[in-house]
Amino acid sequence: MSVDAQQLTHLDEQGHAAMVDVGDKQVTSREAVAQGTVHMLPATLAAIRDGHAPKGDVLAAARIAGIMAAKRTPELIPLCHTLLLSKVAIDFELDEAESRVLITATVRCKGQTGVEMEALTAVSVAALTIYDMAKALEKTMVIGSI
């Protein structure tokens, strides 16, 4: 095995994927904030803002989806630890000047490893849900800047 492979934290001695042992790490307060955007046509943003999307309340569905995604991150990302999350908040800003929805996920826990993957997963799934809920209005939306 190369020197570089020996320094990778998620590989065992044989070079196989392995979860990092965090058992000896101290329990501390952890917080991660992730952001992403969904760019869309002004008419699509207005429909979301005004509650006129054919599938219903886009932002309510995206908020719940983001929260659920944060809680299920270890089921989606193979080497993530299961964490007892104490907070998952999904916030939206409708930016009419840029014709986009800005998504912010804040995740907290007291644990032995960070919650950045949970925050990133929450933002990603919230963005995908916005796309799904609004695709009847527009199929050219762009998810980005996660």
DSSP alpha helices (H): ranges in the chain? 3-7, 42-50, 58-71, 73-76, 116-134
The full DSSP string for 30-45 is EEEEEEEEEE--HHHH
Residue appearing with tokens 């032995």: 112
Catalytic residue numbers? 132
